[in-house]
Amino acid sequence: MAEKYYDHKKIEFKWQNVWEKEKVFEADDNSAKKKFYGLTMFPYPSGQGLHVGHPESYTALDIIVRYMKMKGYNIMNPIGWDAFGLPAENYAIQQGVPPRETTQENIKNFTKQIKSLGFSYDWSREINTSAPEYYKWTQWMFLQMYKHGLAYKKKAKVNWCESCKTVLANEQVIDNKCERCDSEVLQKDLEQWFFKITAYVEKLLAGLDQLDWPEPIKLSQKNWIGKSEGAMLRFKIKDLRLKNKKEVYIEVFTTRPDTIYGATYMVLAPEHDFVVSLLKIKNQKSKIKNIAEVEKYITDTKKKTELQRTDLAKEKTGVELKGVKAINPANQKEIPIYIADYVMMTYGTGAIMAVPAHDQRDFEFAKNFGLEIIPVIKSEKQKTVLILHGTEGHSKKNWYPWLKDELEKQGFNVIVPNMPDSRNPQLRLWLKHLQKIIKEISGEFIIIGHSLGCPTALQFIQNNKINVSKLYLIAPTHSKMDWQQIEETHEKGQCECIKKVTNAGYDASQINQLVKEIHLYLSEDDTYIPFNVLKLFQDLKPINHLYKNKGHFNKSTRDMVEFLDLLDELTKQAYEAEGKMINSDKFDGLDNKTAMKKITKKIGGKMQTQYRLRDWLISRQRYWGTPIPIIYCAQCGEVAVPEKDLPVKLPEDVDFKPTGESPLKSSKEFHRVKCPKCGQSARRESDTMDTFVCSSWYYLRYANPNNDSEPFSQKLINKWLPVDTYIGGAEHANGHLLFSRFFTKALNDFGYLQFDEPFLKLRNQGMILGEDNQKMSKSKGNVINPDEVIAEYGADTIRVYEMFMGPLEDSKPWSTSGIIGVRRFLEKVWLVIGEWLDNNKPEDSSNDMEKLFHQTIKKVTLDIETMKFNTAISAMMILVNQMTKIKKFKQVNVEGLLKILDPFAPHISEELWEKVSGTGLICQQEWPVWDETKIVEEEVEIAIQVNGRLRAKIIIPIDLDEEKVFALALDQNNVKKFTDNKEVIKKIYISKRLVNIVIK
């Protein structure tokens, strides 16, 4: 071999040229072979150029595609550019360079970079979403949606910066301020286009089951669609009639119509139609007694962004519509109406019936405003509160009956046993007695321990092993005492109580397992401290750990404060679960699920399904996107641009500087147009489409990219699609991936496609982090430039390294030293084969190499199928390490190694193939098959355990029978050491793995 050293610079460009010249990777529309369509999410050609993350998914797919090609499939592996988008436009605003120019420049750069990595793309199918030849069909897609009623216009909010006079994308809003000028962002209503993705919710949900996608992605889409079943109910407004004398109703959606008897008020979103119209009409407006307050609340809400409004931590605000009442349709009771921003206009009807007893949000609101709380569902699970108090000498006596009374009002079952003095030796007997009582109680169990009742409570839980949902401990402590002092007091035995308590010996982990929620109240006291209760709590990590310092209260005042807090704590949650109906007239006693339908029927509501998913807003008040093909005519109204007039081209004579209007309006030539219907002068829609529209169908265009009479021909689309394997980031779960499914399903319904899912198999690649384990970013200075890596180590090295780093779907840090190992591996391949050639291909006489070759082929083949590329590479490394030792092998095995290496490192494989075989290209060879008979082991090493601990290893013939294996195992010196004079209870033999001898 001429070149002794592996010089990637000499070979990589050479083979890239050969592949391109011979059109090796062009997909064949006419082949009879089975097709395989592999795809990665196409890149946005950003100014920064290729990132090391790009080659990761590209290499992974390239390996699969090259492998499938060698397996005999007709491959389609296309590439293109998601070329519309904000950065190019921002650059135009700053630098005055038209987006088309920057984009073209970036594509040129990306192309060069991607080509230098040697991927097997079919460049003849390259697409560019910003090219008129492409966006003509994006517009055509819009028209299909429009024709079928899936594209419509309505008002929606946009982020508006008053000082820049421009609409801002969500990512341009930082802290509710404009990223450019730092002034406050307002919400502004604009007429905007939507795609009715909500019409496909059921189909989108149903389709998920069939897909070979990562489960988290499927789940995420399911949650995103957010299906929930409930009822539509109508609430009448009291003493209010429309002009036509009809009564006024407000409709609400609820998932819990069963709770309607507990609906003690209504809440409307501030944007609700009823509120808006009420404030518009003068004589009705005057009905509202607190109109100024109401109007102020509404304007305040408008200033808030969605994010501020939906901050869960904030207290619930609202304002009553004084003077207007609603009627609860179940019991005809008058109830107040509130406006509050915790109700969103975008979900359901923008109005709710509030049931504070059974909805946590309503509950919190009701507490703030002192509204009535009526429980209408009783927990099927009984709630029992056991109050364990301290010695009789303590002054709490009066509080226990009070607390018992209050809790019973709330539906709790309360037990306050008459405690013996905890210093009393009878305690144990007493606990046993209590245990009997408790055994008969089922349901939720709450224990309150007070003072010396604390240790009793803990002991009780531990001894009885009952599951306690909540444990409250109210323990007195001295404000001046610290932990150490407490301990000292204890050790000196100064306090008898402490000593007694300590002797109980609690097991923190056991208690932790038995108790779901632990709350600890500590308060001032100068008597004694159940010391190890406190210490125990350090291990238990109580959920609510309250130190109280209430000043100079006397004891009973202090107790009152504690018990009020406790009561509040115990009843601070709404009961949201199932149960039996109460306070609901004739429905009382039914279980709530049965009542749900009956009540809905009785009050004339209808069961309905709601979805969280909203329609897809596709309008962008931007230049660098696909123009929406609509014309507005004074005569004919909204007119779709006829298909023959497509594409509606993006004009070049526009001003990019923000003016407050879509940039397209500044182009006269674009804006003013004749109406296609009546010929009168009209104006064009000046908004462009969300770039996600472009990427929702690009995978379809690859089937027939140069067709200029249709987006794709029937023959080709149904030949190539759907995509067999798709690789891309998981961040697109609820965006691109959902939109593409929607498009495919819609086009299937329109009759253009014979399939209704675009991507059969999906895999996500993880993120490549910087060496510091942080996301790569310019500001952190941890960005790795792939060009530099390619220049230094070669494309093959970066490809193999990125696959070797770890599992594809994991995120993992880059390691500059780690890549050296991969480079060494390729150098070894080069060297060992070069040497073998120089020595006239010496053959191996033993079978060892042969076996390893076949094992490796098997491992690599199976690993590619399951995308475990890191272990496939490791297997090849093992083989090559062995080869450098043996140095003699058969021609067929060397060829086999090169073939399995080819998908990973195609350039070096091609170069060595030329030298070893001399015929054809390696990427067009057949994938090698392993011979199972050559892999079979004759002997196997098995482990010998005694009681599950490894004591010896022996090598046995593979088919040795069990009895002989046991005999051998028991005969090992190190085994005898442990089994001598011991009774063997059990012997376990796991074939070809281990023996476990169980002794007494």
Partner RNA sequence: GCCGGGAUGGCGGAAUUGGUAGACGCGUUGGACUUAAAAUCCAAUAGUAUUUAUACUGUGGGAGUUCGAUUCUCCCUCCCGGCACCA
Residues 6+ apart with CB under 8 A from 747: 141, 144, 697, 700, 753
Which single residue is written with the structure tokens 């593979």?
A: 958
Choice between 429 and 577, CB closer to RNA = 577
Choice between 217 and 278, CB closer to RNA = 217
Q: With contact defined as beta carbons under 8 Å apart, do 164 and 93 qualify?
A: no
Choice between 87 and 806, CB closer to RNA = 806
Choice between 353 and 618, CB closer to RNA = 353
CB of 830 to RNA, least distance (A): 12
CB of 997 to RNA, least distance (A): 9
Rounded to a whole number of angstroms, the distance between the first and last alpha carbons of the chain is 66
CB of 805 to RNA, least distance (A): 5
CB of 884 to RNA, least distance (A): 6
Q: Among 695, 795, 702, which Cα is nearest to 738's?
A: 695
- Cis, peptide link before residue 705, omega less than 30° from 0: no
CB of 695 to RNA, least distance (A): 17
Choice between 512 and 861, CB closer to RNA = 512
3-state SS record for 42-100: CCCCCCCCCCCHHHHHHHHHHHHHHHHHHCCCEEECCCEECCCCHHHHHHHHHHCCCHH
Strands ordered across the beta sheet of 35-40: 74-76, 35-40, 723-728, 759-764
Which single residue is written with the structure tokens 């008897």?
A: 261
- Cis, peptide link before residue 132, omega less than 30° from 0: no
Count of helix runs (H) and strand runs (E) in the chain: 36, 39
Q: With contact defined as beta carbons under 8 Å apart, do 344 and 269 qualify?
A: yes
Which single residue is written with the structure tokens 């297997």?
A: 875
Choice between 99 and 350, CB closer to RNA = 350
Q: With contact defined as beta carbons under 8 Å apart, do 366 and 376 qualify?
A: no
Which residues, in sequence order, are bridge partners of residue 174?
A: 177
CB of 354 to RNA, least distance (A): 8
Q: Among 277, 274, 294, 272, which Cα is nearest to 348's?
A: 272
CB of 233 to RNA, least distance (A): 9
CB of 828 to RNA, least distance (A): 6
Choice between 237 and 352, CB closer to RNA = 352
Choice between 223 and 659, CB closer to RNA = 223
Choice between 255 and 718, CB closer to RNA = 255
Which residues, in sequence order, are bridge partners of residue 468?
A: 515
Distances (CA, A) of 324 to 235, 237, 284, 368: 13, 7, 10, 20
CB of 862 to RNA, least distance (A): 10
Choice between 480 and 1000, CB closer to RNA = 1000
Distances (CA, A) of 391 to 453, 535, 691: 8, 22, 73
CB of 159 to RNA, least distance (A): 14
CB of 158 to RNA, least distance (A): 16
- Rounded CA separation 677/699 (Å): 34
Write out the DSSP string of 810-835.
S-EE--TTHHHHHHHHHHHHHHHHHH
CB of 979 to RNA, least distance (A): 12
3-state SS record for 834-897: HHHHHCCCCCCCCCHHHHHHHHHHHHHHHHHHCCCHHHHHHHHHHHHHHHHHHCCCCHHHHHHH
Choice between 415 and 730, CB closer to RNA = 730
Distances (CA, A) of 763 to 211, 741, 859, 868: 11, 16, 21, 12
CB of 317 to RNA, least distance (A): 7
Which DSSP category does 627 fall into?
A: B
Choice between 496 and 963, CB closer to RNA = 963
Which residues, in sequence order, are bridge partners of residue 539?
A: none
Count of other CB atoms within 10 angstroms of residue 885: 8
Q: Kindly report the CA angle at 797 between 795 and 802, in degrees rounded to 5? A: 100
Choice between 631 and 800, CB closer to RNA = 800
- Rounded CA separation 249/326 (Å): 9
Q: Kindly report the CA angle at 521 between 520 and 525, in degrees rounded to 5? A: 135
Choice between 218 and 684, CB closer to RNA = 218
CB of 898 to RNA, least distance (A): 18
CB of 540 to RNA, least distance (A): 9
Q: With contact defined as beta carbons under 8 Å apart, do 689 and 725 qualify?
A: no
- The Cα diameter of the chain in Å comes to 108
CB of 956 to RNA, least distance (A): 11
CB of 4 to RNA, least distance (A): 12
Q: With contact defined as beta carbons under 8 Å apart, do 263 and 330 qualify?
A: yes
- Rounded CA separation 246/244 (Å): 5
CB of 3 to RNA, least distance (A): 16
Strands 768-769, 151-161: pairing kind = unpaired
Choice between 351 and 894, CB closer to RNA = 351
Amino acid identity at 354: A
Choice between 408 and 517, CB closer to RNA = 517
Choice between 143 and 326, CB closer to RNA = 326
Amino acid identity at 556: S
Choice between 111 and 317, CB closer to RNA = 317
